[in-house]
Every structure is written in C-alpha cells, then in structure tokens.
A and B are shown apart, each in its own frame.
Chain A
Amino acid sequence: MADPVALASPLVRIRDLKLEAATQRGTAHILRGVSLDIGRGRILGVVGESGSGKSSLASCLLRLLPANMTRLEGSMVFDGTDLVQLDEASMTLWRGRRIAMIFQDPMTALNPLFTVSTHLVDVLKRRYPGISRDDARSRARAALTSVGIADPDLRLAAYPHQLSGGMRQRVMIAMALLVEPDLLVADEPTTALDATVEAQIVDLFESLRQKFAGSIVFISHHLGLVAQLCDDLCVMYGGTVVETGPVAEVLARPQHPYTRALLACEIDSDAQGGRLVSIPGEVQDPVAPHVACVFAPRCQHADTRCRAGVPPLQDSGAQRRVACLRHGEIG
C-alpha cells in the first residue's frame, strides 16, 4: 500500500478504526473502519459534513471518548505504538506531550478561574517536569509573542474572559505549541471566529509551517480553507474515509462521487444565477448496519454492487486512495 507521503513512513497509521456507542435506538456506528495515514511534517485536512465522524476521529487520536462509547477497534500506530491498545495511564502521558489539541471554542477550552499564565505554565510543568518558574514564565511569554500577541506580560496576567475570541484562540495555539508535540489536532479552530479574525488565525497557521516540525490534523467543513492551508486531504462521509490524497490533486480531479458532489455544492463564486446544487437524500443513520457503500443511497452512480458490499479504500494513482467500486467507470 502506498503512503500519502512518498518514501517517508507516516507518523500515524490508522487502520480499520471502528468506534461504536450505545444510544437509545441501538448501537451507533460512529466510525465504520477508518484507514488513514498522517504524514510527517504534513498538514492533513479532514473535511466532511455533520455526522461524518471527523470530530470523533480527533477524539480517537487523543482517546478522549464519550462515556457511552462501547467499542474501539482497529489500530492507530503512532511511531510504533498502537494508541488503541495503550492503557489509560500511558495514554495520559501521551496527551499534552506528543499529541496536543486545539478545540473549536476557545472560551470553553480555557478555565475561567485561571490566568493565561497559569494555563501556559501548567502545560510546561507537565511537559518538562522540574522546569524552573522563571524559565517557564519566560517560555510562556515567548510563546505568546510567537502567536502574535502584543503585550505578552499584560496578557499573561489576564483571565480568559478579558480576552477577545481571536486572542483566546491564539492562547490555545500557544499552549499546544509549548509542548512541541509531534501531532497537533485542530478541530475547526476558526469556525467560532469572525471572518477578519479567522484570516489572522489562518495566517498564523501558515506561518507555523516554518516553525513547527510536527504534523497537523486540521478538521474543517470549509473546503476553501483546507484547499489553501493543507498538504493532504481526507474526505469523510458517514463514519468512513471515502477519498484521500494531496489536496490540490483531489480537488482538481476528485474520484469519489461524494467528493465530486460536495465540490459541486460549493457555490462557485464566479457563476451567478441559476439553480444551486444540493445532494438529495439524507446522511445515513449511524444506527444502520454497515453492509454497503455508505454513500450509495444518495449516489447517482450506485448500482447493485454498491449496495451489496462495503467498497474497500484502494490505491488509485500516486498517493491517492478512493473507496468507490465504480470510480474508474464514472467520469
């Protein structure tokens, strides 16, 4: 099987990851066998609509799973260690050291009772036990400066409610970068921000590419943003990966009917007037068993084979994979 990044082995190799949860209506299949590689030093954009499982995938990477989760199967091999098999105590050592997370809403992710300084210093103490107070504080100050916060001393003394939304997200990013993780997971980090502030944060992510050696998983529903920021793309639908590959390649020549439909739904800003495209039907019920292609009920190309079995995610060109039986036939 070819790697998304030629030659180098991926940082994380996810294979057939299944996540199930108990609900009132029965077992919900949140992830239905996800296979994905996260390349070293790459930014991987994960896109999909609500219910596609993209946030659940992030939760799996950190093993921060909801209490009603009943089954986690498959493997997530991170530099030789399978995170699925790790016991809780060992996993705790991974979080905030080798894996860091940036959440969508910085207000609820920061503790309102502590200052910015406390947040940053706590992260450093955990990452580098025995670090001196002065050293921690000067590193915290430097981290704030590096994410574009002017007046770092003033901001270190501030409580989260005293900061604007954009500033809070910068603090979150500073916290994540302080631990120098190998993997940074950002779950819709700009969705809660206003357009001009979002532009600042996207700018910050772009400048991070130079400073940050680790890999980034950037989860978003905004294809344009992912197209601009990421190296690789993973398109998810109904708890499965339907297509992966280099961003520019996938967007220029999408192979899976869902990727194609999603791109058609994007309102092409140069064409005005006329009807807008939408995908008929609804997202598959997570309680439904996984016996066929998840997109088949909404796919205009689906035939009996698509409804008879689950299509494997197979190689389809350089560094590309697609989970569609008919991708070669439809053009």
Chain B
Amino acid sequence: MSAARPPEGAQQRNAQHEATPMPPALMKLEGVSVVFGGKVRALDDVSLSIAQGEIVGLVGESGSGKTTLCRVLVALTPATTGTVTLGGEPVAAQLAKSPLAFRRRVQMLLQDAVASLSPRMTIGRTLREPISIHDLPRAEAEVRLQAILQRLGLPADVQAKFPHQISGGQARRVGVARALVMQPQIIIADEPTAGLDVSVQGELLNLLMELQQEFALTYLLVSHNLNVIRRVTGRTAVMYLGQIVEEAPTRELFAKPAHPYSAALLSTNPAIDPARRARRIVLQGEIPSVVNPPSGCRFHTRCPVAQARCKTDAPALAEVGPSRTVRCHFPFSLELTR
C-alpha cells in the first residue's frame, strides 16, 4: 500500500501547478556543474526552474550539494559550466552590468541567524548597512525599514541592541528584515528553522508564508525537516551526491516517491502516530565522496533495488508524469509501505 494521499485540494499552491501550465521561470539553472580544484564535482548537471511566486523545497543529506546550489543561485559561487538566469537574462551578464542590482533581486537567509549578524554592530546599524551599500534613497528606505520592523513584530528598542542581547527568534527576524529591505524577488532560505525549537518554528514558517503573499516573493527553501518541506512547499527537488535525482510536486513526491533514494529518505521520517508510520527503509553505508563518485548511477552502491545496468549506465533525468522528473532506470521500484 502506498502512503495515503492528503485530501483533494488541500493545498491551493499545488493544485494550481497541476491544473495550469507552469508560469515562466523567475530563476533557472540549466546544466549547471560546479567543480572545485578540478576534481571535486559539488554539482553535476543540475537543472532547476523556479517560477514566480513558487516555494520550492530542496532536500538531501550533507554533501549532496544543497549549499553549493544556494551559493550558485546567489552568485557567491560561479557555475563552472551551464547557465543561471534570472528573469530570462543570464546572471553572468547581469553581474557584469550591475552586480548590486542583481544582489537586490536575490537575497539569502543564512542558516545561523545569530552568527550572520556582526557582533560589533547594533541591530539598527546592521539593518541600515545594506541601504548605504546599495545607495538607496535614505528617507524612502527608512520608511520601508520601519514598516518591515513593525510587520515582523520586532520591538523598537531592538535596534539599539547588539546581537548577543536579542533572542534567537529575534535574530532570525532581523535576518528576514535585512533581506526584505532590499525588496528582493526571490529569497534563498538555507535551513531557516534549523536549531529552532518546535514550539517556535511554526511562528517563523507562518511569517515566511505570509510575507510571500504580501511581498509577492518566491522562495527556495532548504531543509532537513521533511515535515516542513511537506507543509510549506509546492514543489520539491531531492539531491544526492551533487545531482537532483527527483523533482516533483511535493504532494506527489510524499505520496509516491519515484526515486529509491527519495523513498528511503522519506521513510526515515518517523510519524508520531503509529498508524501513519512508514516502514523504515534502511540504506547500507553512507554517502560516497563526490571526489570519487560511483560509476553508473551514483546511488547504485546503496540502492536496495539496483540492477546490473545501474552499475554501468548513468541514468538521465526522465519525465515520469506531469512536471515530474527522476534520474533512475527503474522508477517507482522501491515503495513506501506501512
């Protein structure tokens, strides 16, 4: 038996994707590879399209290339091969023309919110630093900043404080405010809830979802927490060893994963209710090194359903349904069971 599907139309965002053709991509990666030192292939032929107004989830274990992908999107790491476009125009060209204009459009929320704030600057100074770097009209930016701070529920006295004097939740909201003041189109959020207690993570996720509506934002959300991905995102990409091995509407991915790695990953997420708990698929070994990836399919060394062909032939990304792609010779061969 496959995992139960959630009620029909439970998530509007998903339903829209299935019913209407995909809106044009806001940000797109095509055949992007990143090679460090000539041999470490951190990203290998990654293509990902993020449409305006979408929340795309990115999951994978350490070393799978999630952070490198984020860094490529915000142009902190150049793609060795392949192209990255924003609004249809190559990012490389935009950076050559006006790097600041590009950086205003793409902002990042860093994983360690407290460490991302300079301990030597007051919160007020930290929040105004981008305004002066980007030479934004002062008065207008100040009005916007005050409105954002109020919207995020940050008390007025927070601006006079230093990072060590505020709570972790406040530090996260300061990070969000610093990104929003640039009026970005897309926010890359690298593990925004990591290290947050479960009693407060809901508050931050609610805020991010509300801001998405209010400011017409687009998000790429990286998370280890599969429950967060399932709840918040409309589409999810699963990474393994520098490649996207599966991309699917989130609801479909969780109901019926196509790639054996996705199935194993989803099975490791224990539900509290025993009736909804999937049988754990335990993979042997650990993620191999990207310096010396396995031949053929990169997952074949750990795949419980690998066949002879998987050792020699590298599978290409293939369509397995409307807006679903998977990099596997034998999709749907490992099922989630109760």
Point out residues on A near B: beta carbons under 8 Å.
49-50, 164-167, 194-200, 202-203, 221-225, 227-228, 248, 251, 261-263, 265-267, 269-273, 275-279, 282
Contacts and interface: CB of A to CB of B under 8 A. Distances in A.
B282 A199 contact: yes
B202 interface: yes
Nearest to B12: A273
A265 B276 contact: no
Given A224-B272, A272-B11, A279 B199 contact: yes
A198 B276 CA distance: 20
A225 B231 CA distance: 19
A49 B198 contact: yes
Interface string B191-215: 0000001111111011000000000
A195 B265 contact: yes
A196 B61 contact: yes
A50 B197 contact: yes
Contacts of B10: 271-273
Nearest to A281: B199
A270 B198 contact: no
B235 to A, nearest CB: 13
A126 B274 CA distance: 42
A270 B276 contact: yes
B202 A196 contact: no
Cβ-closest 9 pairs across A and B: A276-B202, A224-B270, A278-B202, A194-B61, A267-B227, A279-B199, A49-B197, A278-B203, A199-B268
A200 B272 contact: no
Given A202-B270, A270-B6, 9 more contacts: A165-B286, A195-B265, A199-B264, A267-B230, A269-B254, A272-B10, A275-B202, A276-B201, A276-B206
B6 A266 contact: no
Nearest to B270: A224
A189 B231 CA distance: 27
Contacts of A225: 270
Given A203-B280, A227-B272, A261-B199, A266 B227 contact: yes
B121 to A, nearest CB: 23
Given A195-B61, A196-B268, A269-B230, A277 B202 contact: yes
A227 B270 contact: yes
Given A198-B268, A266-B198, A275 B224 contact: no
B236 to A, nearest CB: 13
Contacts of B302: 196
A46 to B, nearest CB: 15
Max chain B Cβ within 10 angstroms of own Cβ: one of A49, A167, A248, A267 = A267
A121 to B, nearest CB: 26
Using C-beta atoms within 8 Å of the partner chain, give the interface range for chain B: 35 or more
B228 interface: yes
Interface in B162-179: 167
B96 interface: no
A224 B276 CA distance: 11
A282 B202 contact: no
B82 to A, nearest CB: 27
Contacts of A227: 270-272, 274
Nearest to B198: A265
Contacts of B270: 202, 222, 224-225, 227-228
B288 to A, nearest CB: 10
A265 B283 contact: no
Given A194-B287, A262-B199, A276-B202, A269 B269 contact: yes
B272 A223 contact: yes
Nearest to A51: B197
B251 interface: yes
A225 B276 CA distance: 13
A228 B274 CA distance: 8
Contacts of B224: 195
A197 B286 contact: yes
Contacts of B264: 196, 199
A242 to B, nearest CB: 13
A277 B302 CA distance: 37
Interface in B269-302: 269-274, 276-277, 280-283, 286-287, 302
B274 to A, nearest CB: 7
Contact of B6 (A167, A223, A272): A272
A269 to B, nearest CB: 5
Interface string B92-131: 0000000000000000000000000000000000000000
